A and B are shown apart, each in its own frame.
Chain A
Amino acid sequence: MIKEFFSSLLHYFVNITTAVLIVTAIYLTISEQQMDSVILWEILLSGLITALPSAFLVCLDIRNGRILLLLWIAHFLLIFIITLLLINIFGWYKITAISAMLTFLAVVFIYLFTCIVHYIVDMKHAALMNKQLKQRYPKK
């Protein structure tokens, strides 16, 4: 369980950080702003903090589909709130209605990016496992 948690944490950290870097690069290019090098550490820290609830959630063995859906929605909202708090703490920009909306879109992008990357990797693993199953138990 602990091994699984840290393995998931590492995967989510890498994926989230990559997605945050993409969003930051797009934002800096469009706004033609320059930022201090400390932002790199802040991105790494925000990647780690937001990866924690994600790794915790996937380690839970919940079989009820409805409860799982509710947990994923709560998880998304938690990530959004954490992101707003981090923006405020790091002073990346002032929180207004428009910036909160843009942050929401950025979180949606990062969330989808992470889910899709995980799904693609899992699909690859499932294909390999299916190949092994076919070899081991050929159809009679």
Chain B
Amino acid sequence: MKIIIESPHPDEEDVIIVRCASPDQQLISMLLTFQNSNTELIGYLDNKIVRLNYRDVYYFEANENRIFAYCHSDVYEIKYKLYELEEQFSSLDFARCSKSMIVNLEKIEYLSPLFSGKMEAHLKNGENVVISRQYIRSLKNRLGV
């Protein structure tokens, strides 16, 4: 099966066309999941309520029973549980990197090892997050290593 991704014209809407002989249950289920997936995030910063694009989030962190979304320079509180975010975004480019953190793989500049057996993810905004040893294996699998 071929996967072709084409860029639409500037005035055209994004569209998914599936060309197949007979769409099976798996394909329909996959398309419905995609269509219904909720990737919208509402962030709270001081008195402001902001609609966030998940692609702008560098990482999510749980701190004292509160969840925060770290963007390039701003930090927003999110009214979700960490495991809910993990379920919601694991099919995208997000991966659990410690008990309290989920990192956006797209925002990782590079990884470097630490002497304690952990790894450090150097993010594109200059921040560093530690990847716990127990999550390194799953991250390697995600990256096909």
Minimum Cβ distance to chain A for residue B103 (Å): 12
Contact B113 A63 (CB under 8 A): no
Contact A137 B105 (CB under 8 A): yes
Within 8 A of B (CB), among A101-140: 115, 118-119, 122-123, 125-126, 128-130, 132-133, 136-137
Contact B145 A125 (CB under 8 A): yes
> Interface digits, B106-137 against A, CB 8 Å rule (1 contact, 0 not)?
10101111111101000000000010111011
Minimum Cβ distance to chain A for residue B61 (Å): 11
**Residues of A with C-beta under 8 A to B134:** 1, 4, 59, 61
**Residues of A with C-beta under 8 A to B136:** 125
Contact B110 A133 (CB under 8 A): yes
**Residues of B with C-beta under 8 A to A133:** 105, 108, 110-111, 143
Minimum Cβ distance to chain A for residue B18 (Å): 24
Residue on A with the closest CB to B113? A122
**Residues of A with C-beta under 8 A to B106:** 137
Contact partner, B133, options A59, A115, A119, A123, Cβ 8 Å: A59
Interface size class of B (residues with CB under 8 A): 20 to 34
* A59-B133, A61-B98, A61-B132 given; A129·B113 CB < 8 A: no
Residue on B with the closest CB to A58? B117
Interface residues of A (CB under 8 A from B): 1, 4, 8, 58-59, 61, 63, 68, 72, 115, 118-119, 122-123, 125-126, 128-130, 132-133, 136-137
- Tell whether B71 is near chain A: CB-to-CB under 8 Å: no
Contact A63 B111 (CB under 8 A): no
**Residues of B with C-beta under 8 A to A123:** 112-113
Contact partner, B110, options A1, A58, A61, A130, Cβ 8 Å: A130
**Residues of A with C-beta under 8 A to B132:** 61
Q: Which 10 A-B pairs have the closest CB atoms?
A: A122-B113, A132-B143, A58-B117, A126-B111, A128-B145, A61-B132, A130-B110, A126-B113, A4-B134, A137-B106
Minimum Cβ distance to chain B for residue A18 (Å): 18
* A63-B130, A136-B143 given; A125·B113 CB < 8 A: yes
> Interface digits, B83-113 against A, CB 8 Å rule (1 contact, 0 not)?
0000000000000001100000110101111
**Residues of B with C-beta under 8 A to A128:** 145
10 example contacts (A-B, Cβ-Cβ < 8 A) are as follows A58-B133, A61-B132, A61-B134, A119-B115, A125-B136, A126-B112, A126-B119, A129-B140, A133-B111, A137-B108
